[in-house]
Every structure is written in C-alpha cells, then in structure tokens.
C-alpha cells in the first residue's frame, strides 16, 4: 500500500477547488489518472523494480495499422473507460496492463463471484470519489471556498433571475437556476469575475468550434500537426461527433465540428478517436 495523499491533494483536490472558484468545470477523474495512477504509481513501480502496472479500467492497448501502441476502447462499450485513460503515452503505454479490457462488466462480475470476492455485486460508482453523497459537491466546496451570488441574464442582457453561487454553475446547466416556468433555458456563459450568468435556448448552446489546450498525444511529436479528421468525445460516456482538428500551436488545436454541437464547458476533457471509433488519437482540455 502506497500513501499518495499529498499528491492527491496537490494534483486533484486543490485544482478541483481552484477550478470552481474560477468558473471552470474540472474533470478530477482524468487528473487522478494523469498524475497518480500513470505518473506517481509508475514512478513507484520503477523505484521498486516492477515491470508493469495493471489497473481495472475497461480499456485496451493495441497497435494501430502503423504498429504504434495506442489506448483502444474496451470490449464493453457500455463501460468503456478509454476516455479517462487517454493521457497514456510513450513508455507508460509499454508498461501498463488493462486485464479486464477485453471482458464485459458481467464477465468480470462472474469471475469475481466464482472466486468468492465480496465486490462481485458491488454497485458501480458514478460519483467523484472524494465527495460524500450526503454533502455533495456544494457541501464539499463550501468548506474550502466562498460562494458568490450572480445575476442571471438572457442573451440580450435582460434580467432573468439570480443564483446563490456562481461557482457552482456550468455551461449547459438547466436545473437549479430558479428561472420559473416557460421555455427551457440553458446556461450559455458563466463569468465569475463579473458575477454574471447568461442563459439562452438550446440553439444558443450550439457552436461550430472548440479550442483545446494541454494536449497529449500517444507518441508526442509523432502526431500530425496540421489538420486531420477525428471523432470527438466530450465526457466519460458521451456521444462521439465528427470534427476536424487544426493545430494552431504546439499546445493548441481548434476543433471544427462537421455539424454544430452543444458547447463544452471550459475545463472539461475532450478525447480524439480515429474515424473507426477504435483507438485514441489524442486529447486535451477545453479552454474558454
């Protein structure tokens, strides 16, 4: 057993709090994998002389048609976790094993049951691990930061209401805004500094482009740095949508959707897959 509590606080919990304070929607599960499982744990494996690290993610690692190792979707598409391990690259790809990646979740439960493991029927976790279900995200953050109220306006700047904590509002949100009846309205912009939330129709959420930074590619500079077509996934189990990615700098790409899509909140991770929706091409974090 290794105690990585300080690393967890520094790389997962503290950035999670800072992101909310800045009006950004973080993805702590991705950052945990990036900094803990496939950074610190691999370092510890090196120090102790181990050959590999194995985890229970529903993902696989296979060579593409050029023989380059890449993270590949798990056999159980309903439980596929290639999105949250997309950051694996270089030597880490050679030294990571996903032993359940070729199995369905029901297969895994059956094997666990046959060995008498008490986790065989354990419910799937859907929540952020460090947030208790009783207090929730609001209770967790309230102990670590100050909330500020904000005005809610429509896309024409007309008053529409207010929210008690602008730090808890995210792009695409519809519930919890206390806007009364009428047509459905969604958050289309959040500005923590001016304490202003803009709401609009579902059509107002649509955009043709997304700017992505903090990029990672399976083999670094070996990736194409011009323009290529990909399928893009914007959440752990979200739908994939076709787009072209154009490199604007070493650490910035612009996604241009083939068909306008709903905005993705800044701070969220997007992962690029090849057009067969099989293996990870790369990924990054949406910027404002």
List the catalytic residues: 32, 129
CA-CA-CA-CA torsion sign (283, 203, 199, 133): negative
CB-based contacts of 272, cutoff 8 Å, min separation 6: 230, 231, 232, 245, 280, 281, 282, 283
> 244 is written with which tokens?
């072209």
Helix ranges (DSSP H) in 123-265 = 136-142
CB-based contacts of 92, cutoff 8 Å, min separation 6: 38, 42
How far is residue 52's CA from residue 93's CA, in Å, rounded to a whole number? 10
Q: How far is CA 169 from the centre of its chain?
A: 17
How far is residue 28's CA from residue 21's CA, in Å, rounded to a whole number? 15
Beta-sheet pairing, 206-216 with 196-200: unpaired
How far is residue 162's CA from residue 231's CA, in Å, rounded to a whole number? 37
> 279 is written with which tokens?
């293996």
HEC per residue, 89-114: CCHHHHCEECCCCCCCHHHHHHHHHH
- For the chain, the C-alpha Rg in angstroms (whole number) is 20
> 207 is written with which tokens?
């955009």
> 212 is written with which tokens?
């992505």
Find where tokens 């009846």 sit. Answer: 181
């Amino acid at each position: 057993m290794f105690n990585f509590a300080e690393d967890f606080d520094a790389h997962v919990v503290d950035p999670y709090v800072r992101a909310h304070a800045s009006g950004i929607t973080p993805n702590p599960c991705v950052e945990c994998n990036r900094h803990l499982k496939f950074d610190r744990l691999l370092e510890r494996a090196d120090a102790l002389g181990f050959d590999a690290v194995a985890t229970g993610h529903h993902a696989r690692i296979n060579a593409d048609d050029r023989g380059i190792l890449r993270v590949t979707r798990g056999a159980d598409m309903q439980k596929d976790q290639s999105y949250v391990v997309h950051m694996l690259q270089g030597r880490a790809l050679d030294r990571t094993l996903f032993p359940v990646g070729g199995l369905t979740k029901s297969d895994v439960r059956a094997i666990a049951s046959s060995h008498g493991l008490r986790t065989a029927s354990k419910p799937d976790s859907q929540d952020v691990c460090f947030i208790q279900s009783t207090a929730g995200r609001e209770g967790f953050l309230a102990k670590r930061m100050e909330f500020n109220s904000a005005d809610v306006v429509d896309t024409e700047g007309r008053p529409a209401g207010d929210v008690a904590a602008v730090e808890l509002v995210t792009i695409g949100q519809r519930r919890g805004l206390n806007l009364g009846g009428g047509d459905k309205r969604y958050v289309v912009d959040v500005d923590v500094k001016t304490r202003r939330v803009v709401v609009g129709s579902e059509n107002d959420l649509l955009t043709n482009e997304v700017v992505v930074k903090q990029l990672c590619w399976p083999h670094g500079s070996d990736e194409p740095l011009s323009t290529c077509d990909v399928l893009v996934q914007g959440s752990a189990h979200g739908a994939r949508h076709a787009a072209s990615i154009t490199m604007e700098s070493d650490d910035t790409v612009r996604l241009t959707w083939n068909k306008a899509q709903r905005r993705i909140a800044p701070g969220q991770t997007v992962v690029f897959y090849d057009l067969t929706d099989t293996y990870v091409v790369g990924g990054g974090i949406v910027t404002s």
